[in-house]
Copies of this chain bind each other. A is one copy, B any other.
Amino acid sequence: MNKVVKNVEEALIGIQDGMTLMIGGFGLCGIPENSIAQLVKLNVRDLTCISNNAGVDDFGLGLLLQQKQIKKMISSYVGENAEFERQMLSGELIVDLIPQGSLAERCRAGGAGIPAFFTPAGYGTEVAEGKEVRVFNGKPHILEEALTADYAIVKAWKGDTEGNLVFKATARNFNPMMAMAGKITVAEVEELVPAGTLDPNFIHTPGIFVQRIFQGQKFEKRIEQRTTR
């Protein structure tokens, strides 16, 4: 089943003001750079973005924040971004902070048809406010609900024409779960290969989860903390 679209313009057709988007990546690692640039160009607004981080001031989702395209962020960690902090503290931006593991699991649950699950993370903290608490094996847990999105936008290392995806190293992070949880999932890949090229034993995201795939034009792959010995 051919999922290939020509370019990033075609890949993001249908994204509108007010939509909920999942954006893969951890920090600046494994983010869909080409699609983010296109979202800036499209200037869609009032977005709810589900993404572990919010980029830095001038890269990643920071680019959307600069243009005030984001109404609400659902994330686990949003340091490293002064504009973000300013918008949040001033009340311009709604922020829902979620434990990282709960965020990952809530995305997976959204893709897997599991509407809610219990986790110990956040019990006794403000994350638990308004959430059901239940004790299992003597330990209190809170009920967390699934997350889904109108569009999930992910970045993979290689992808084939059927939408099968393979990620490299820690650039995998949130991409596979978000790919599962989008009503429409868009994958930008560094290398687009014909079906049959990738070993079916080693597909990270089966094509069934991907509706549109394209080869990104350019990947800057900025490094946040270049640390060497």
A149 to chain B, nearest CB (A): 15
A201 to chain B, nearest CB (A): 6
Q: Interface residues of A toward B: which range?
A: 20 to 34
Contact between B119 and A168 (Cβ–Cβ < 8 Å)?
no
**Stretch in contact with the other chain, from A39-47, A63-71, A108-116, A179-187:** A108-116
A155 adjacent to chain B (CB < 8 Å): no
Contact between B115 and A105 (Cβ–Cβ < 8 Å)?
no
Can you sample 11 A-B contacts with CB below 8 Å? A113-B119, A114-B119, A115-B118, A115-B139, A116-B117, A116-B134, A116-B136, A136-B145, A166-B201, A168-B201, A202-B202
Contact between B119 and A118 (Cβ–Cβ < 8 Å)?
no
Contact between B120 and A113 (Cβ–Cβ < 8 Å)?
yes
Query: CB within 8 Å of B: which residues of A?
Result: 105, 109, 112-120, 134, 136-137, 139, 141, 145, 166-169, 200-202
Q: Chain B: which residue is nearest A116 at the CB level? A: B118
Contact of A117 among B117, B120, B168, B201 (CB under 8 A): B117
Contact between A169 and B137 (Cβ–Cβ < 8 Å)?
no
- Distance A67 CA – B212 CA, assembled complex (angstroms): 54
Contact between B120 and A118 (Cβ–Cβ < 8 Å)?
no
Among A136, A166, A167, A201, the one with the most B-chain Cβ atoms within 10 Å of its Cβ is A201
Contact between B118 and A136 (Cβ–Cβ < 8 Å)?
no
A204 to chain B, nearest CB (A): 8
Contact of A137 among B112, B115, B137 (CB under 8 A): B115
Q: A167-B201, A168-B201, A201-B168 are in contact. Are A136 and B119 (CB under 8 A)?
A: no
> Which B residues touch A201, using CB under 8 A?
166-169, 202
- Distance A134 CA – B117 CA, assembled complex (angstroms): 12
Contact between A117 and B109 (Cβ–Cβ < 8 Å)?
yes
A67 to chain B, nearest CB (A): 33
A167 to chain B, nearest CB (A): 7
- Distance A112 CA – B144 CA, assembled complex (angstroms): 15
Q: Chain B: which residue is nearest A202 at the CB level? A: B202
> Which B residues touch A105, using CB under 8 A?
112, 114
